[in-house]
């Protein structure tokens, strides 16, 4: 049975898709900083780039890329048009957009002043992850409230770059700007260095369904390379059918492209929303994690009072997200003090108890 669970905390909503209680997909939505997927914009072409078979377009506070294959007409520099974000921004690259719109989107844009020129602007926000999942799985009931303890523990483990799989196998996830590498290590599973190749093959095969779930749960996207454990290069392709079957339940339709000359399994998974590891990085994510911890500490210690010391970047991110601090204030008897501390760097923060 499929269910959806939405857990709200100050400034963000965490959404989990579960099948019989087992999480399959996990997303973080932040009202003050949505990922932008599906948003509809009145944009302007800033540069045609024939060598890249596309155009750069100006969006509010960002620059997107419109492939020629995603535009109804080539367009010229300076032209305005309506676009929808088809792939969220990644790293230093802006979002990818499309001008191939539905009839409903065109009608909405026309009725909201998308004619002539004027400044670029947001016409309509994209669907939240919860809205997207409800549309994809209309039969799934939605539960709200804090995540149960066992589920919270598994969600917390997604922030770790290494996990233990069945039989002692270990998987390490290493994202780079170009791709995500996954290394499988079966040293603990097979014991001796001279373990039989049959045991190695079976150990790799046994963890592929879980590996497919982890790829989906972490929302890994783009190029994914998997280094199977302890198998000669020529033997690895024999696991292709099992790996493809492990990827098959994923609604985004990841594709096994084959095995490289070095034996890496090559997977292409569509990038729509940012992968989880990107959503967990940055001052805003750290700030929301900090005030979430403050709320938990306040609930566990009703008589105590706390304040937050944070790096300047984290403090500024929280100051900009007024909604998160307002949401936190509803559950507390005092206003949380957030102090910018230049001795803290990056995304660092500290919760301190107020005495007296």
pLDDT reported for residue 257: 97
Let me know if residue 90 belongs to a domain: yes
pLDDT reported for residue 356: 58
Task: Tell whether 272 and 172 lie within a shared domain.
Answer: yes
pLDDT per position as a tens digit, 257-274: 999 999 999 999 999 999
Task: Tell whether 224 and 208 lie within a shared domain.
Answer: yes
Let me know if residue 151 belongs to a domain: no
Task: Tell whether 27 and 135 lie within a shared domain.
Answer: yes
Task: Tell whether 259 and 174 lie within a shared domain.
Answer: yes
What mean pLDDT is predicted for residues 194-203?
75
Let me know if residue 297 belongs to a domain: yes
Let me know if residue 155 belongs to a domain: no
pTM score:
0.91
CATH number at residue 115: 2.40.50.140
pLDDT reported for residue 192: 47
Show which of 261, 276, 291 is a domain's final residue: 276
Residue 134 DSSP code: H
Structural tokens at position 163: 């996990």
Task: Tell whether 169 and 252 lie within a shared domain.
Answer: yes
Show which of 276, 306, 325 is a domain's final residue: 276
Q: Please tell me the total count of domains within the chain.
A: 4
Let me know if residue 263 belongs to a domain: yes
* Structural contact between residues 84 and 30, judged by C-beta atoms closer than 8 angstroms: no
Residues in the chain, overall count: 356
- Residue 23 belongs to domain spanning: 2-34+131-146
pLDDT per position as a tens digit, 90-129: 877 899 999 999 999 999 988 887 677 789 999 999 999 9
* Structural contact between residues 120 and 41, judged by C-beta atoms closer than 8 angstroms: yes
C-alpha separations of 189 from 173, 203, 233, 305, 338 in Å: 19, 7, 20, 48, 47
Show which of 226, 242, 276 is a domain's final residue: 276
CA distance 56 to 322: 32
């Amino acid at each position: 049975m499929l269910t959806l669970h939405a857990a709200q905390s100050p400034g963000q909503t965490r959404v989990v898709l579960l099948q019989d209680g087992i999480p399959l997909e996990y997303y973080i939505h932040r009202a003050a900083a949505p990922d932008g997927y599906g948003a509809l914009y009145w944009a302007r072409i800033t540069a045609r780039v024939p060598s890249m078979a596309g155009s750069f377009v100006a969006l509010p506070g960002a620059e997107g890329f419109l492939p020629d294959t995603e535009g109804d007409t080539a367009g010229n520099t300076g032209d305005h048009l309506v676009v929808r974000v088809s792939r969220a921004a990644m790293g230093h690259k802006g979002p990818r957009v499309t001008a191939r719109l539905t009839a409903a989107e065109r009608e909405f844009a026309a009725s909201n002043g998308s004619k002539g020129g004027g400044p670029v602007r947001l016409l309509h926000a994209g669907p939240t992850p919860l809205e997207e999942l409800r549309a994809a799985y209309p039969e799934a009931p939605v539960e709200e409230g804090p995540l149960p303890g066992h589920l919270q523990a598994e969600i917390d483990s997604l922030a770790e770059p290494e996990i233990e799989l069945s039989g002692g196998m270990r998987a390490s996830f290493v994202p780079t700007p170009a791709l995500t590498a996954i290394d499988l290590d079966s040293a603990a599973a097979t014991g001796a260095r001279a373990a039989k190749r049959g045991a190695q093959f079976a150990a790799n095969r046994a963890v592929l369904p879980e590996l497919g779930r982890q790829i989906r749960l972490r929302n890994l996207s783009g190029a994914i390379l998997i280094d199977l454990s302890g198998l000669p290069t020529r033997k690895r392709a024999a696991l292709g059918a099992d790996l493809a079957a492990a990827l098959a339940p994923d609604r985004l339709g990841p594709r096994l492209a084959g095995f490289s000359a070095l034996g890496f399994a090559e997977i292409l998974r569509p990038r729509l929303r940012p992968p989880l590891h990107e959503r967990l990085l940055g001052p805003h994510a750290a700030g929301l994690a900090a005030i979430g911890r403050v709320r938990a500490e306040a609930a566990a210690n009703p008589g105590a009072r706390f304040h937050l010391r944070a790096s300047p970047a984290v403090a500024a991110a929280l100051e900009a997200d007024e909604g998160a601090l307002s949401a936190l204030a509803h559950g507390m008897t005092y206003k949380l003090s957030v102090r910018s501390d230049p001795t803290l760097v990056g995304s660092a923060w500290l919760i301190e108890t107020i005495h007296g």
